[in-house]
Amino acid sequence: MIKNFKFIALVIFVLALGIFLGACEADSELASKKSNDSESIARQNREDKIDNTLNRGLEVGARIPEFELTKSDGAKVSDKTLEGNPAVLVFWSLYCSKCKKETPAVNKITAKFSRKGVEIVGINIGETREEIEKGIKSFGISYPVAADPNKKVMKKFGAIGTPTIVFVDKTGKVKYYGNKLPEDSERILDSLT
């Protein structure tokens, strides 16, 4: 009798865990913005904000907050250094499987758009130098990475998890905000260059 009870309890736990993890994935998908142009990006963000209470990030069209971080090569990256060039900011962490999954696509846009003046910067949140280096190697990151050890910049951007990806235009305004690259990221970046 006790063995049957334990087995039933285990089955219920596994089912509940599966439902919970599936719901997390669905929330993650809802938080991402998909669009065709700047106007539809804004429209999609407004719709997503209504549909997804977890979207606490910057609004499309909002100016990015003041910040300054140091990249792994020693160069500074800030709202001021980004002025005049479009940018892609990728908030990530070593223990984020979705961050690792997004890396090849971010590497691809880095290869194509850094030549066109787009600054792509990974912003690691809350991890040690050793963890950051491990993540760069493990993920195969080919773009510069800055450290946000106290998560201050992450909080300023309103990011509630990783990955959080922000496209910024030449004037420092948000053109895309989501937890994955938009399917039409190359077209959006072409429009920003």
Per domain, the residue ranges of the chain are: 32-192
Cβ proximity of 86 and 193 under 8 Å: yes
User: Which tens digit of pLDDT belongs to each residue from 33-73?
Assistant: 334 455 545 554 544 443 333 446 888 999 999 999 999 88
User: Which tens digit of pLDDT belongs to each residue from 99-123?
Assistant: 999 999 999 999 999 999 999 999 9
Give residue 58's pLDDT: 83
| Superfamily of the domain at 32-192 | Glutaredoxin (3.40.30.10)
With residues binned 3-state (H G I as helix, E B as strand, rest as coil), the percentages for the chain, rounded to 5, are: 50, 20, 35
Task: Calculate mean pLDDT across residues 169-177.
Answer: 95
User: Which tens digit of pLDDT belongs to each residue from 120-169?
Assistant: 999 999 999 999 999 999 999 999 999 999 999 999 999 988 999 999 99
Cα(174)–Cα(88) distance, integer angstroms? 10
Cα(42)–Cα(176) distance, integer angstroms? 8
User: Which tens digit of pLDDT belongs to each residue from 66-104?
Assistant: 999 999 889 999 999 999 999 999 999 999 999 999 999
